[in-house]
Each structure stands twice: as structure tokens, then as C-alpha cells.
Amino acid sequence: QTQACCEGGSQDKWTSQEAKVSAIRVVDGFYPIAEFGSLSDIIVDDAGNIYFTEYFTRVIRKLTPVGNDLYEVRTIAGAFTEDAGYQDGPGSIARFHNPSDVGVDSRGNIFVTDHADHRIRKISTAIQLTVNGSKVGGRINNADTDNWFEFTVQTEDLFTIETHSGSLNDTYISLYGPNDEYRLLKEDDESGVGNAAKIITHLLPGTYKIKVAPPADADAQEGAYTIRVTSSSLHLNLDGTHTDGNISFTGDNDWYEFDVLTRGTYTIKASMVAVSQLKNAHMYLYGDGSAGQNIPTTLVEESKDAVNIGEPSIMKAELDPGKYWLRVRAEEMDDKGAYELNITSRLPPIPLTNGPWVAVAGNQLIFDGTASYAQNPGTTIVSYEWDLDGDGIFNEELDDGIITSPGIVTKTITLPSSGVAVLKVTDSIGDSAESDAEIITIGLAFVTNYQNCWVDRKTRFISFYGIIITVKNIGSDEIKNLMLTLTEVPSNRFINATAKTSELGNLAPGDEATTACNPTTKEADIQTTLNRRIPPDGSWSWEAEFDLGGSHYIIPNLPPLAP
């Protein structure tokens, strides 16, 4: 026979049980089936569980009270094999040499001294939970005791830890981690269904532990319950394809997450499955629209209760770019069953223009918005409106240009100035959007595009040219620090990389400036090579860079003097 102590090691609590002691066998089970060999040390935890070390059979055993004076014996670590020694791992994978003394802490961790290996080993007795796995049962056997569970987070996400009542209808849970079972993260008493507990929190990768205990003021201090850990890792697509969901038990909540990249109107719809028992669903949308938001703290929208059984639950919201979470539950708390979930977006049109616009004062500008497009399937752009004078009023006659065709207007700005042109487009379902770009009318233009100052013939077909150009300040303000750069030539010419820019300094209103060129020495600020074998094609292009009225301008293609 062997004796088992049920609580605190008190001698008056020892009771005899029919479990065999064998020097060579390790057999788990209920008495009288269980067998022990070479018992070395014994300890009892607060819940009445008894732990043994077996010196020569190299195992750690646990004797658990299961009610009605019945005890179950099982091996929790090690194995009676020839490959004794030091090896970490779960359960029977772990190896000991000669385990001797044993101890247990308040978190259910077992500490064993391995005599021959001169080591202290730690065994976690926490029950393993699988994220998004099935519910796992737990039981509080004695008042003032607790259960410990453990789970691993592989990917950063939002997690729900939730208990469900059994014969123990009131639970209190504490969450510890990551990778630190003494670091308390969160606690909860009654956020779940009824008096059950629930924690919703954002977790980083790592190992976490959960302590479950009855609250001190609970009516029942003993009994059974279940616990489950789920993540919101189910990511929703925003293309209208449906995702299957299921309220699998009373009080269940399904969590989803999705990312909004473009501001728009989003419709979220939960449809009941015909063969399902779920009558109606209720939805909550969380998130503050901030990129990187980690936890669903802000309720953005909530669906309305359905009028008829089987009616879809629909929710619409105007959402900014960012991360959002969706929670789905049964409308009636005792209901359960399957549903289909999808999200469709109603996105604004995209206004595109040919801006920014740069021209010489007095030249006609063309404002083209025909590249704009509608984003929603089956929709088109039905309206183009321009505001060219910055007063916020669109399509004013003359002030906002002359309409030449849908999306295109022309306007001549007679004085050097700068401003903003705004295009507003509207699609066929009534959604609008605006785009803006700068208008610059400058007081600088070519008097002559180019002239040859000198020519140096190298071969029958190849010649070097020195080029001069003349520009004029036709505005009313001084142009300062003017530089002209040759950026493009016809196909039969080539730009000299070391002679393509001329610094012209300052130009007062009405003044002209000409690039430097010396025909005697055959030197010039601007030089090109001509190949007569190549047919000419293309045009000249000059970049002007200068300061005007306190602003710095770069004009990529300087226009000619009107007309």
C-alpha cells in the first residue's frame, strides 16, 4: 500500500489507498492499477495534488484527487528508460538522472533536484491552450486554490481570453507574460457572459500564463468551467468576397480585423446561413482610424437590431485610413450558428490634372482633368468643375476659364502671378473629390530661342556650335539669380555636358540678357554638336531657375515670348 495526503501535509489527513509499490515498474492509472518504484520525495500543493520523485526510475509523478476518494496517478515528466541523463523537453521527452527532492510554488511550477547531474529542474504543470483551438475544461477542487494555463503567441495580434461557466459560474482570470509568469498584464472578473471573465488585449509574440480562480466573494468556490483563447488574426478582405463565421457556443464573440487604405464609405454585412440556427447577428466596429492602432478602444459604429428573423445585419461607416476591428455576436445571447460576412467599399473618384501649370503671362493655359477616374465598379465621372481664381466657386464664366470639352478649360492670365487651380469631379453615384495644383504665370520668356554664334567643322558631317539665346523680363518685378540650362535638343544635335548652363544674374523689368559666346576664341556657355547624317527631329528645351518675389522657381520648359 501507499499513503496519500490530501491537504497541507497534515498527518491527520493521511488516508490509505491501494496503489502498489514496485522497484522496477512505472504504471500510471487509478488505484489499484498504479504502480510506483523507488520513491524519493513527496510534496502536496494547495489544491491537494501530490507530487513524487522516483530516484531510480527517473520520473516525476503526480497523484490527483478526482472526487469520491478517488485518485489518479500519472507521470508528468521523465521516462524509465536506459538513456538517463539531462534533457529538457515536454513530458516523456524530458530526461532525468536521479531526481531526488521536489518542491512546488504557488503557480504550480514543480522544482526538482537531479542528484547525479547536480541540477535544479523546473516543470510547468500549466495546462496548454491552443490559440483558436477548442475550449479546454478546468476545475477548482478546493476553495482558495487556482488553475494555471499556458499558451504561445506566434504573431502579434489582438487576443481574447474568455472563460465559460459550468458548475463554477463565477471566475476571475489574471494574465501574465510575455515570457515572464510573474509580470501581471491584465485581470478581469465579470466582463464575459454572466459572471464569467474575459480579457481582450493586444499581445506580442511570446509565452503567456493565465491564472483562473473563483473571486473571494463568489457563492461557489469549487466546480468546473471552460476556457478558450482566440485571436483576431482572421483578416477581412475589402473586395466584397465573403468570409464564413460561426457563433459556436452561447455567448461566443467572433473578432476580425481589416485595414482601410483609402477614405471612403464602407458597408459591412452579416448574412444568416439558411441551414444555420443563428437567427440574427449583431456587429460592433472598433478603431480610431489611426495607422498602428493596437487595441480596439473606440466604438466607431454599431449595427441596429434586426426586425425579422434571418434578416442580414448591415452597418455603414465613413472610414479614414487605419486599422479597424469587427466583433460579431448573436443578437440573442443564447443563440448560436453560422453566418457569412463581407465588406464592400464605396470609394470617392480620383481627380487627376495636367498640372502644375507654368506659362508666360499673356499666354493661354490649358487645364485638363480628363485623366480623372471613378473607383467603384460600374461608375463613371459625370461632372468636371474648375475653380481657377481661388474663390471656392466652381465654373464661373471667364474667371474659371472657357470650357472647350468635358474636363478641359482654357484661360489666359495676363499678369505674372501664382495661384492654385482646383478640379472637382463627381461620379455617377454622386460621390465627389477635389484635387489642386499650382498655377505660375511668370514674366520671363525667350526673345530668341537660339542662334549659332560660331561653328567649328570637325568632319564632313560633324560640327561644333556655340549657341546664344536671349531672354527678357516682361514682368513687373526683378528676376534674381537667373540661370538657363539647355535640357533637350533635336535628334541631330548633342548637348556638351560641360557647356550647357549660363548664369545671367539679375534682370530688371523690361531688361534682356544673352548667354555668353566668343566667336574668336570659339568659347560659349552653351555648346552643341551637329551630326548632318541624322535627320532632325524634336525640339529645343530650356530650364530656367531664378528667384522672384521671395520665392525660388524652376521652370522645366521655358516658353517663348507671345505670340
Contact status, residue 88 vs residue 81, Cβ threshold 8 Å:
no
* Residues 484-515 pLDDT 10s: 999 999 999 999 989 999 999 999 988 999 99
How high is the mean pLDDT of the chain? Answer: 83
* Residues 440-474 pLDDT 10s: 777 787 777 788 999 999 999 999 999 999 988 87
Output the CATH code of domain 357-442: 2.60.40.10
Say how many CA atoms lie within 13 Å of 133 toward its Cβ: 11
**Do strands 20-21 and 35-36 pair parallel, antiparallel, or not at all (unpaired)?**
parallel
In this prediction, residue 334 carries a pLDDT of: 81
- Please name the helix (run of DSSP H) or strand (run of DSSP E) that holds residue 214, with its range, or none: none
In this prediction, residue 352 carries a pLDDT of: 95
Phi and psi at residue 293, in whole multiples of 5°? Answer: -60, 130
What are the extents of the domains in the chain? 2-124, 128-231, 243-346, 357-442, 444-555
Read off the pLDDT band of 4 (50, 70, 90).
very low
3-class DSSP state for residue 91?
A: helix
334 - beta bridge partners? none
pTM for the model stands at: 0.43
In this prediction, residue 92 carries a pLDDT of: 72
Phi and psi at residue 432, in whole multiples of 5°? Answer: -125, 160
Q: Which residues of 397-410 are buried (b: 16+ CB within 10 A; e: fewer)?
A: eeebbeeeeebbbe
Kindly report the three-state secondary structure assignment for every residue of 394-412: CCCCECCEEEEECCEEEEE
pLDDT of residue 176 exceeding 80: yes
Kindly state the cell numbers that stand for 435: 484635387
Kindly state the cell numbers that stand for 241: 468576397
Please tell me the distance from the alpha carbon of residue 171 to that of residue 198, in angstroms, as a whole number.
10
Q: Is 439 left (phi over 0), alpha (psi -120 to 50) or beta?
A: beta
Residue of 63, 21, 51 whose CA lies nearest to 112: 51
In this prediction, residue 278 carries a pLDDT of: 86
127 - beta bridge partners? 149
The whole-number average pLDDT for the span 37-55 is 83
* Residues 106-123 pLDDT 10s: 777 889 998 888 888 888
Residue of 459, 447, 457 whose CA lies nearest to 522: 457
Cis peptide bond prior to 351, omega within 30° of 0: no
Residue of 542, 540, 517 whose CA lies nearest to 466: 517
Q: Evaluate whether the domain defined by 128-231 bears CATH number 2.60.120.380.
A: yes
Shared fold status for 2-124 and 444-555? no
The whole-number average pLDDT for the span 220-234 is 82
Read off the pLDDT band of 408 (50, 70, 90).
very high
In this prediction, residue 207 carries a pLDDT of: 93
Of the two residues 90 and 490, the one the predictor is more confident about is: 490
Separation of CA 192 from chain center: 27
Q: Evaluate whether the domain defined by 243-346 bears CATH number 2.60.120.380.
A: yes
Looking at domain 444-555, its CATH architecture is Sandwich (2.60)
User: What torsion do the CA atoms of 502, 507, 513, 517 make, to the nearest 10 degrees?
Assistant: -30
Q: Evaluate whether the domain defined by 2-124 bears CATH number 3.40.50.12160.
A: no
pLDDT of residue 419 exceeding 60: yes
